Chains A and B, each alone.
With several copies, the nearest count.
Chain A
Amino acid sequence: MSQLTFQEAVIQGISEEMERDERIFHLGQDIGPIYNGAMHSAKGLGAKFGPRRIIQTPISESAMVGAGIGAALAGRRPIVQLMFAEFLGLGLTPLACDAAAMWYKSDGKVSVPLVIRVLYGAGPHRGHSEDYQAWVASVPGIKVAMPSTPRDAKGLMKAALRDNNPVVFFEHMALYHGARQEVPEDDYVVPLGAAEIKSEGSDVTIVATALMAQQSLKAAEQLRGEGISAEVVDPRSIVPMDVETVRRSVAKTRRLVVVSESWKTGDPLSDLTASIAEELAGEAPLKIARVGLQNTPRPFAMPLVRAAMPNVQTITEAVRRITESN
């Protein structure tokens, strides 16, 4: 066990898997030992694995994703770092239209074991915070991981690297160099598609990922002081979505607050909300509240950035709104 930041945990996961599996290599802009990747997202990997496994590319996101897909088809297990989720659109067409469909359309003859890494989220960077998760999450065949803690980040990265399908791995910039956590050094994985109840409770279910999961935990703590017992569920992967864990929680609390740093239209958590409503709202009343990003482009000035996003206050308000009334 060691105390790692989110960024260190991701790197440790990659490094362990690269040692274990010769087929893994890492492609990206400026990920070599000189620059070590945007925000040190590839720190130490270039020095350790050399330029044949840590391969720098020109600024060509579409070719980078395509190259990852092709190498995966030919037996490798590539990681492609696209710096920021903001650039996902440039590589989306080969990923979503072709790679995502290959297993199904080839009738199980070929698969694409490919991990795409992206930074996102309102953090220290000026901009680049957009997640555009709907672009990849909306297309069947792509898995999407969105961890909230160092431990989950490492375990999910290891799972992603052992997965035979394309996985887009979101790394939140506000968590990246943030709080350290005990992270096991042994061979654990956090499976894709397994939510975790981060805090148990009985009055209301809060669902959130990444930074919003952290904010929700803070909100839950505050609410506990007010006598409201909130259960915080972190899906950890957006696709596959562990609807079942959320359903069980909401079946118990009959109150659901969904917190998202994304825009609601097209948010995979909106689909989760709809699924829960479809399953649980038919027999008895079900209280639902959603807290999301302001429905405009992301502003720039920090006071505006903060005000456009959910935070502990807006989360607790939403919880109170649906718990008060009975």
Chain B
Amino acid sequence: MTPDANLLTSLYHLVAKGRVLESLLGKLPGFHPGVGEEGVVVGAFFGLKDSDYIAPHYRGALLAAHMRGADLRRLIAGVLGKVTSYSRGRVRGDICLPLQFNTLGMFSGVLGNPLNISTGIALAASLDEKQGVVVTSFGEGTSNLGAFHESLNLAACLALPIVYICQNNGYAMSTRTDYALKCTSIADRAQGYGMPGIRVEGNDVVAMHQAVQSAVARARAGEGPTLIDAVTYRISGHYSADPNDYQPKDERASWLKKDPLLLLKARLTAQGVMTDAQLAEIEKAAEAEITEAIAQAQADPDPGLEVLGPDDLYSPVLERVA
């Protein structure tokens, strides 16, 4: 399927924005940037219905939430713990996302929980019979947790409408994929659950998008879950302060050539969809928008003690059911 110009343009807008976002947020202390992995994020979450749910991997999570309609300034305010954030500063906004956009983040620092929980969202979707689907992503390091195994198996047993995407960026902190996983591809794990397993060049955002969309179609049709190994590379360090001096030079260099933004640009110009100047324009606009959002968020106030909510522990009890 050759993608049309509109699709390519939309994807480009998002990848370009993602690049700026990840690069600039990557300068904030403690942030885990996803520079180089924007292709996976955009390809995974583009083209879904508002009523579908997503549960993005923490690396690239803000881009994903923004794609669902969340406001950039408020998202960034969440990274900074400002009162203007969606939680008024109560939660780590770098990894926890506003669920009102049908976007699940991490409510704790524990990897794997979103895998379990998004599987439950898919269970609800299957009961609703509204053909909603869930798309969830996670790192290849995270795929070594029991939560991965139990979730995929449960989803397969109940034929749940969910797509599992491994954002396989070659590293978990300093641990290389080839140290921590002895399979050839994470897709090899699918067979153990009797579900399709697909390996995709994650840096090719078009291929990524198409692979996810066919898995989504499958899920929507009630045919159950799919596992996608989206192969990419962590250009950033694990987090802002990581010198990232442990990636072999040649490995890094070869991946830099496969940068998803470069690949997409080349395609856009080759297909004559946009000129270099137009591309630069879009990048400039993204840069301006995000710089502005960061500046605003930084200027936003810290929460006051009224946010502390010592008595706000429980959701009020339902007196009577509907």
A296 contacts B by Cβ under 8 Å:
yes
Q: How far is the CB of B111 from chain A (nearest CB, A)?
A: 6
Residue in A20, A97, A112, A164 whose beta carbon sits within 8 Å of that of B113 in the complex: A97
Instruction: Indicate if the CB atoms of B174 and A69 lie closer than 8 Å.
Output: no
Closest to A140 in B: B313
| Inter-chain contact A70/B117, CB cutoff 8 Å | yes
A110-B99 contact given A30-B173, A66-B117, A94-B117, CB 8 Å threshold? yes
Q: Mark A106-150, 1 if CB is under 8 A from B, else 0.
A: 111111110000000000011110100000000011010000000
- Give bound CA distance, A64 to B123, whole Å: 11
Instruction: Write out the residue numbers on chain A whose beta carbons fall within 8 Å of the beta carbon of B153.
Output: 58, 60, 63
Q: Is the CB of B174 within 8 A of A93?
A: no
- A70:B313 contact, CB within 8 angstroms: no
Evaluate contact between B125 and A296: CB separation under 8 angstroms.
Answer: no
Chain A, residue nearest B53 (CB): A74
Q: Is B315 an interface residue (CB 8 A)?
A: yes
Does A70 contact B123, Cβ atoms closer than 8 Å? yes
- Tally of A-B Cβ pairs under 8 angstroms: 266
Cβ contacts B115-152/A at 8 Å (1 or 0 each): 11111111111011000000000000110111100110
A274 adjacent to chain B (CB < 8 Å): no
Chain B binding site: helix, strand, loop or mixed by DSSP? loop
Q: Is the CB of A62 within 8 A of B147?
A: yes
Query: Which stretch of A49-57, A208-216, A229-237 is in the interface?
Result: A49-57
Q: Return the chain A residue nearest B139 by Cβ.
A: A59
Query: CB of A65 within 8 A of chain B?
Result: yes
Do A63 and B113 touch across chains, with their CB atoms under 8 A apart?
no
Give the size category of B's interface with A: 35 or more
B47 on the interface (CB 8 Å rule)?
Answer: no
A76 CB → nearest B CB, Å = 5
Contact of A74 with B96 in the complex, beta carbons under 8 Å? no
Q: Are B308 and A34 in contact (CB under 8 A)?
A: no
Residues of A within 8 A of B87 (CB): 105-107, 109, 300
Complex CA distance for A163 and B99, rounded to whole angstroms:
20
Contact B117 A69 (CB under 8 A): yes
Does A21 interact with chain B (Cβ within 8 Å)? Answer: yes
In the complex, are the beta carbons of A59 and B141 less than 8 A apart? yes
Are A67 and B116 in contact (CB-based, < 8 A)?
Answer: yes
Contact B98 A66 (CB under 8 A): no
Which residue of the partner chain, among A78, A98, A107, A108, contacts B110 with CB atoms under 8 Å?
A98
Residues B104 and A105 in contact, CB atoms below 8 Å apart: no
Q: Which of B94, B99, B312, B317 contacts A162 (CB 8 A)?
A: B317
Residue of B nearest to A95 (CB): B113
Q: How far is the CB of A77 from chain B (nearest CB, A)?
A: 9
A98 and B246 contacting across the interface, CB-CB below 8 Å: no
6 A–B contact pairs at CB < 8 A?
A35-B246, A70-B122, A90-B146, A99-B117, A106-B99, A126-B30
8 closest Cβ pairs, A-B complex: A70-B120, A66-B116, A301-B81, A301-B89, A63-B150, A111-B315, A74-B124, A97-B108
| 14 further contact pairs, Cβ within 8 A, besides A17-B321, A126-B30 | A21-B321, A58-B141, A59-B144, A60-B144, A63-B116, A70-B120, A70-B122, A71-B123, A86-B110, A105-B91, A107-B91, A113-B315, A301-B82, A301-B89
Which residues in B have some Cβ–Cβ distance to A below 8 Å? 30, 53, 81-83, 86-94, 96, 98-100, 104, 106-113, 115-125, 127-128, 141-142, 144-147, 150-151, 153-154, 157-158, 172-175, 179-181, 246, 302-305, 307-310, 312-322
